[in-house]
Structure 1
Amino acid sequence: MSDENPFSRPSFIFSAGFLAALVLSGVLIAVWPDDEAEGGPAPDAAPASSGPGATPSPEEAPASPDDRDSVCGLEAHTAEFDMLLPLLDTTWTSIGGMRAPQTAEHGPGVVEDGGVRHCYSRTPEGAALATGNFLALANAGGDRMGSRWELIVAPGPGRGAFIAEMEAAPESEEGVGGQIAAAKVVSYSEDEARISLALMAPDSVYASMTFDLVWVEGDWKVVVDESGESDPLFTVLEDLGGYTPWAAI
């Protein structure tokens, strides 16, 4: 079995066979870098300016007041959170075989023909919905966002690399081997969130993928590293304990 984690690439295909092999071998994969242990910067840390009076780059520039509100006017907003999401009245839409979630209150508030989906409420629910849609759009293969990935990927040195890879990605011919089954809010503030999604493969093997998001440019956006990879924390689960059922099965 290869040690490469296929989920570390933007166009990660959810592989039931890969998960089954992990379960049989008892392997636990964790690909999210430990910044405190390694002494590196946080994934969304902005680079330091070159000196006093330097003009900040777009990645360094502070958000404008308008960025504090939802770009499409979703009014829900909270700084409170619970690890267990409330049950959401969710509509699921298939994108290349993987189902993407949507609610009227929390988003995506903008859904266009062809797959473009963005704009979420500034709430834990909005962050969870943003994560689920990012996963479905990236997993589907092909340029599902029509070269507009900046709408769902956070500013930073890796955003351009991520967009370039997604623009060049062919549509998947392998299909999708799993679907979102549950969700958990690992941490949350008005400006940052960490969301864990539990996925189930057809053979009932569960695995979790955990993403960091930031509230920027008036929306929740997924953080990618300098190489353009999202590197989600990937873990095989024995069950869905600690998660809120949120099935797209």
Structure 2
Amino acid sequence: MTNESSGIENDERGPFGRPGFIAAALIVVLIAVLGIVVGVTNVLRDDSAPESASTASVAVPATASPSTSSAAADESTGGSEGSTSTSVCGLSGEVTEQARLAKAPDVDYWDYQGTVAYPVSEQYGPGATADSGYRYCFQRSPEGAVFATANAVVQGSDESTVKAWLDYFVTGPARDQVLSAGAGSSTGSGTRVEIAGFRVLAYDGDSARIDVAVRGSASGKTINLSMVYPLVWEDGDWKLNVTDASAPIDVTTIPDLAGYITWGA
């Protein structure tokens, strides 16, 4: 691979081509997604919309297990009058037709997993936390899909919860291959990652394609990544629909955030 100041060619898909891949060198952006540590370096080595509602304060999402949340969801009322929520934890406000977002959804607060911030909303999710520690349950809406994707960027960074989270979040024909590949290491010291923006590429209520712009920095260098997640609504929540185990999500470098809706802590 040719050494570039950005650390990687713009058309390079990065380490997601090899599940469990770990990369490290001068410029390192470590992003834990699907339990795979993504390194964007100069040397690689193998190893979418209802209107947002602002809330002055919100309680921390209740802790629940997927099984108990599903039971609660059966008795919850959805966003449309007379409809029943299909959400695993009963979140209302479902949008099942094609939709896009023209602005960033409201965030009640940004919390942290390690040094990476993730958005929390009583309306959009995460609506519950499993006994094993991972967060889940996001609204069936473009906003909910965006929140689910932003949370996915950091969910794999905790080695104590990543296995259970992967088992919950990954679906699709390549699910078993991805799970058998295992997780990579957590992010290393001296690196910082932040969510910087997003685009809703597609949304129809049953599936969504969310592009999250992530900015990483290390050793005084910064790099921008585009990370496109193919989501599907399954069992009352957004899941990652993996059809190709060699590339669970589409990752590439981008020069700037042009075309993205700015969003972040």
| TM-score band w.r.t. shorter chain | 0.5 to 0.7
Segments of structure 2 that go 5 or more residues without pairing to the other structure are 3-11, 20-33, 44-73, 75-83
CA contact (8 A) 1:96 1:175 kept: no
Write the deviation string for residues 117-163 of structure 1: whole angstroms up to 9, x where unpaired: 1101000011111111122112x152524525332222x33223323
Higher RCO (C-alpha 8 Å, min separation 6):
1
Q: 1:156-188: per-residue Cα shift (whole Å, max 9, x none)?
A: 33223323334x545444565421100110010
Residue in structure 2 matched with residue 235 of structure 1 by the alignment: 252
**1:103 aligned partner:** 121
Q: How many aligned residue pairs are there?
A: 199
Cα distance in 2 between the residues matched to 1:106 and 1:146: 24
Partner of 2:37, secondary structure, is: coil
Letter matched to residue 255 of structure 2: E
2 CA distance for matches of 1:170 and 1:191? 32
- Where in structure 1 do 4 or more consecutive aligned residues deviate above 6 Å? none
Instruction: Work out which of the residue numbers 161, 183, 206 in structure 2 matches 1:144.
Output: 161
Match of 2:35 in 1: 11
Aligned to 1:164: 180
- Give yes or no for contact 2:16–2:246 (8 Å, CA) kept in 1: no
For normalisation by structure 2, the TM-score amounts to: 0.64
One-letter code aligned to 1:220: W
Where 1:107 maps in the other structure, the secondary structure is coil
Change (3 A) 1:171 1:239: closer
In the alignment, does 2:234 pair up with 1:225? no
Supply the AA of the counterpart residue of 1:11: G
**For 1:29-40, what aligned pairs fall within 5 Å after superposition?**
none
2:199 to 184, 193, 212: 184
Alignment of 1:30-109 (within 5 A): 69-78=86-95, 79-109=97-127
1:56 aligned residue: none
What do residues 22-67 of structure 1 show as CA deviations (whole Å, max 9, x unaligned)? 9xxxxxxxxxxxxxxxxxxxxxxxxxxxxxxxxxxxxxxxxxxx69
Which amino acid counterpart does residue 186 of structure 1 have in structure 2? L
Residue 98 (structure 1) shift: 2.5
- Identify which of 114, 117, 139 aligns with 2:135: 117
For structure 1, the residue ranges without an aligned partner over 5 or more in a row are: 23-65
Question: 1:99 Cα deviation (Å)?
Answer: 2.2
Matched, 1:133 2:133: no
Change (3 A) 1:153 1:176: farther
Which stretch of the first structure deviates more once superposed, 207-216 or 83-92? 83-92
SS at 1:105 equivalent: coil
Secondary structure of 1:205's partner? strand
Q: Deviations over 1:181-211 (max 9, x none)?
A: 0011001001010000001122343221111
Query: % of aligned pairs identical?
Result: 30
Larger proportion of helix = 1
Q: 1:196 aligns with which of 192, 208, 211?
A: 211
Query: Which residue identity lines up with residue 194 of structure 2 in the other structure?
Result: Q
Find the aligned partners of 1:145 and 1:204 in 2 and give their Cα distance.
26
Report what 1:41 is aligned to: none
Give the aligned residue type for 1:235. Answer: T
Give secondary structure in 1 for the equivalent of 2:164.
coil
- The alignment's TM-score, normalised by the length of structure 1, stands at 0.67
1:195 partner SS: strand
Contact 1:107/1:120 (<8 A) preserved: yes
Change in Cα spacing, 1:99 to 1:161, as seen in structure 2 (3 Å) is: farther
1:95 and 1:115 in contact (8 A); partners too = no
Other structure's SS at 1:178 match:
strand
SS of the equivalent of 1:214 reads strand
The worse-fitting range, judged by mean Cα deviation, of 209-218 and 143-152 is 143-152
1:147 partner SS:
helix
CA contact (8 A) 1:182 1:246 kept: yes
Q: Which amino acid aligns with 2:240?
A: V
